[in-house]
Every structure is written in C-alpha cells, then in structure tokens.
Chain A
Amino acid sequence: MGEKILMKGNEAIGEAAIRAGCRYYFGYPITPQSELTAYMAKKLLKMKNAAFIQAESEIAAINMVYGAAATGVRAMTSSSSPGISLKQEGISYIALAELPCVVVNMMRGGPGLGDIQPSQGDYFQATKGGGHGDYHLIVLAPSSVQELVDLTMDAFDLADKYRNPVMILGDGLLGQMMEAVEFKERPKVDLPDKGDWIITGCKDREPRHIVPFDLDPSVLEKWNYNLGEKYKKIKEKEVRYEAVNTENAELIIVAYGTVARIVKTVISNAKEEGINIGLIRPITLFPFPEKVINKTADNVKKFLVVEMSLGQMVEDVKLSVNGKAEVNFYGRAGGIIPSPEEILKEVKKCL
C-alpha cells in the first residue's frame, strides 16, 4: 500500500502523468485547470530529458505534443473547454497520424467563453470526434481525485496500446477539489514497441514519414477503414463502467464524472424514503458501455440520465436502450451543479 496524500485534482493529474513516464508537457493557462500546467512547470523544468513549454496558444501546444509524440515519448497537454476547441485541429491530425498522447479537458460552462464553473457540455465534442473527419478519441471520465490519478496513468498505456489520442474528460469541480489519493504500484503492462514507426532520424533504415494526408481517396479510405477497425477493437476490449445497486432497482440513473458522485448520495437518500434506484456510471465515454445499458433495460423499464448539460450523453443512452425502456433526462447547464434534492425530485417524477 502506498501512502495517502491530500492533493488537488489538477495537481494529482500532473503527478500521475509524471509517474506514468510523461516528461513532455505543453500547455496554455486557462481556468479551471491552470494548476496542472503550473505543476508540470514546477516538476518538469527541474528534470533531465524533459520539457515544459508554456505555448503561445492552445493550437501550438497540441502541435508540440504532435511533434514530441512523433518521436515516441509520452507527451501531454491539458486545457478547459474553450481551449480544447482550439486544439481540435491538432487532435484531428494526431488521430490520423495515429500518435499516442493524452489530452486533459477539465470542462467549464459554455458555449463561447461561457464561465469557469464545472460543466459537462463538451461530451459531444469529446466522444464524437471534435475536429474534422471520421475519428474517435478514447475518452475516460473520472469521478474522484483518486480516479483522476488512476485513469491518467491508464490513459498513457491506452494511448500507446492503440496509438490513439486519449482524453481525460473531467470538469472544474474535479480539478479544484482536494481528496486523499494514493499512487499505487502498478503491474507492468505489455505495450507494443514503438521502434517500427517513430521518427528518430533514418540511421540504418529507410526514411519514415508521418503524413496525415493522402490526395488519393482510395488510400485515404483505406486509412479510414483501418481507424474504424481500431475503434471496433477498442469498443470490444476497453469498455469500463461502474454499476451501483442495479439489481431490483425501479429506475436506473446513468451519469458520469461529478454528477455520478452526487447520484450516489441520491441513491442512499432515496433508499431512506423506500425508493430503490441504481446507477450505471460510464467510466469510458468512448467506448460507451452500451451493452450493459442494453442488458439492464431488459429488467429495468425506467432510466434517468442526469448531466451537467442540456442533454448529450442521453443520446447514447437512448441508442443503447434501443426502445426497450423509457429514457428520461434531467440536466443543469452553464456551470450549475445539480443538488441531490433536485435529482431525487426528478426520480420521483419518473416513477
């Protein structure tokens, strides 16, 4: 057992990234994730074979990640919603170039400059691509500071395993809160060798190119199909979720991240009133845990999706349920966090 220490979410991500072997961080200040950038500066600027750059823009930061990842090192950038929009061009290129990297989004209220309060308004952007073209990120949705740590470490492994960008989709609340965390000893994971694709200079081999374009549509289509095959494999192998009290529940709430924490309080409050409800918490938003939701819909006929948005993940829940049960929605937007009381009120409305 490792030692438990009290850490702020944003800083815990930084420490987890460094422990996962990330030595190259490129970022730009934006609330509510700036502590992560500052943490990486404090640590990486003192390390050898490492780089921290406060980039001139979010666009430059993601492209620095592109360059570093192309050489085979573990690289990361982080931001919050408006900054993540700026990174989308680079993320799209990285997706086709199939470069492993980690992008952290501590979401805040939008659209536009929005505000700096916690939100889940970037679900569509994170899970459906975000930039131009047919691609997906692997999207991990932590719900506690401990999970920020664990999933950040997993993110680097998943990125290397699939040569795919991975997004940590948190929010301002997770980034700003302090909780006790443990940096656990992790079993060694077998990951593919990067030696056959990284850009290192062509000594003793033919030159290599990392070129995310081809003007021949038959070539580009093939690349797209290859990406599609990869996403299929990710959907088969990497789905993660937490199921709480789903046996004999009258209603299942589907929620992720910060909202899922609140829903756990709602479950016990409801129990005191004799109402038996459960929770399915997607931990991977892409791949989405559609099978478990579909299976649960065989027995439970009412679902309530709660999000800090006008309703985005609810579309994936509806697709997963596929008409087998009633899917209701409750959301707060613009940086408002729903209270357990108002969620319980919604539960009662559905029953």
Chain B
Amino acid sequence: MKKVFGRPVSLTDVPFTYCPGCHHGIAHRLVAEVLDEFGVRENTIGVCPVGCSVFAYLFFNCDMVCAAHGRAPAIATGIKRSRPDSIVFTYQGDGDLASIGTAEIVHAANRGENITVIFINNAIYGMTGGQMAPTTLAGQITQTSPYGRDPKTMGYPIRVSEMLSTLKGATYISRVALNKPANIIKAKKSIKKAFQVQLDRKGFSLVEILSSCPTNWGLSPVEASKWVEENMIPYYPLGEFRVPEEVA
C-alpha cells in the first residue's frame, strides 16, 4: 500500500508538549514540511526561544540551538554569518520576539539578515501561565491585566509585521493564521515563500502566525479557533506586508 500521509522527516517522533488545541503543533508541522520539501533538513540550524516552544529542539529533527529570552535573532545572526550556506531559522513567541527581544528582531530585520523567523502570536504568555503579552488585545483579560488590558496605561497591542515592514532591510513579511484549513494552506505557502527568500539569499523573512492558546484564554480548542477569527484577525489582518519584487 502506498503511504499517502506521514510525519515529515524534519519532525522527530517526540510527542509535543503543547496543550490540546494549541496551534504550535500545526506551526511546527508546516515548518517541517517546508524543510522536507526543500530537502534542506540536513543543512538547517534552528534557534528556539524561551517560552512554550523552548522545547522545539526536541521536535525539529535538525541541529538546534536554544537562545536566551528574546535573543534568538542575534544568535541566528552569529550562526548565519559564520555559516552563510546553512539554512537558519528562529522560532519565537510574542513575549520573546515582541517584548524582551524587540531590539534583536528589529535590527536583524534592518540588517537584512538572511534568516527566516517564525513568529507565533497568541496574544498571551503561555509558558508562565497567561500573563499579558505585547500583543494582548485591548480589553483582554490575563493574569497581569485582570481587569482587561487598558491601552492607556498598558500600551496598545503591537502589530509586529506592520512595524517591521517599514524597514528597508526586511525582504518578506507576512501574517497568517491556523484557525481553519484554508488558512493553514495559506500559512504553508507563506512559510515556503519565506524559506525560498532565504534560499535565494534575498534577505530577512518573517512569518507571523496567529495562534490559539486555549489553556490560557480559558476556551475550548474550537472556541479558541473562533476567537482567533473574531478577535485577532480583525486587529491583526492577514496578508503579505513585504514581498520581494521577483516573488510578488
């Protein structure tokens, strides 16, 4: 019998540590499928962050380095500069990338580092148990915004893709979601484009992935996917924000 569906070689068989209904697993799989399809697994070095995906090194079946909180783009820069022929990606959450690591991501993008960044935006700190993230929506209740995020004192949710798109050094920037099959297919295409940009040595690429966090949102997996559609996508519109001319 012909095998029609299986685990990508770029994923190990270690069971995910993610909660039921969390979108990290889908995001991992899409990245792994893309690495498989380009045939670059053996030439890939991933950098995992601090946060729920700190264990990503167990799941991606390639060389991996674990970064300090927020510093993945700097580490990826050091790796890529010393091994320009390797495929280098970071996998970061919103606390990691959009809060403590803002300097590193902005300047890696601005330098046009030839790396790919997978940015998981689930509007909350997952690993530490549901605190406010820089991407937490206005009014959203978290452990550290127990009365809802008040933008007047807590700031507005940061639109990372739009912000980084103002930088000339950024080559490809897109925002995708994983809340329904149609969006997952689009997400995969976008991740593939991002890695293509790196393979073509065209510079910095980032895919922001809107993800669910049922556990810390206090919702069921189905409700959480609906919450992405109804609350996140209106504020964080999907689409491509920067596309290299040749790919557009």
Contacts and interface: CB of A to CB of B under 8 A. Distances in A.
A201 B40 CA distance: 9
Contacts of A208: 63-64
A63 B79 CA distance: 10
A200 B78 contact: no
B45 interface: yes
A269 B96 CA distance: 59
A211 B47 CA distance: 10
B140 interface: no
A70 interface: yes
Nearest to B69: A89
B68 interface: yes
Contacts of A213: 54, 66
Contacts of B78: 24, 26, 63-71, 75
Contacts of B61: 202, 207
Interface in B173-203: none
Interface string A51-77: 101011101110111111111010100
Given A201-B86, A209-B57, A64 B68 contact: no
Interface footprint category on B: 35 or more
A24 B83 CA distance: 11
Interface stretch (B101-109, B151-159, B228-236, B239-247): B101-109
Contacts of B81: 24, 51, 53, 64, 67-68
A65 B65 CA distance: 13
A61 B81 CA distance: 13
Interface in B57-103: 57, 60-68, 71, 74-83, 86-87, 103
A24 B64 CA distance: 21
Interface string B45-58: 10100000010010
Q: What interface size band does chain A fall in?
A: 35 or more
Most chain A CB neighbours (cut-off 10 Å) among B41, B45, B61, B86: B45
B66 A201 contact: no
B68 A90 contact: yes
A81 to B, nearest CB: 21
B16 to A, nearest CB: 16
A45 interface: no
A209 B82 contact: no
A243 to B, nearest CB: 40
A67 B67 CA distance: 9
Contacts of B166: none
Contact of A63 (B64, B74, B87): B74
A237 interface: no
A213 B54 CA distance: 10
A87 to B, nearest CB: 11
Interface of A: 24, 26, 51, 53, 55-57, 59-61, 63-71, 73, 75, 89-90, 93, 199-204, 207-213
7 contacts: A51-B82, A59-B71, A60-B74, A60-B77, A67-B47, A202-B61, A213-B66
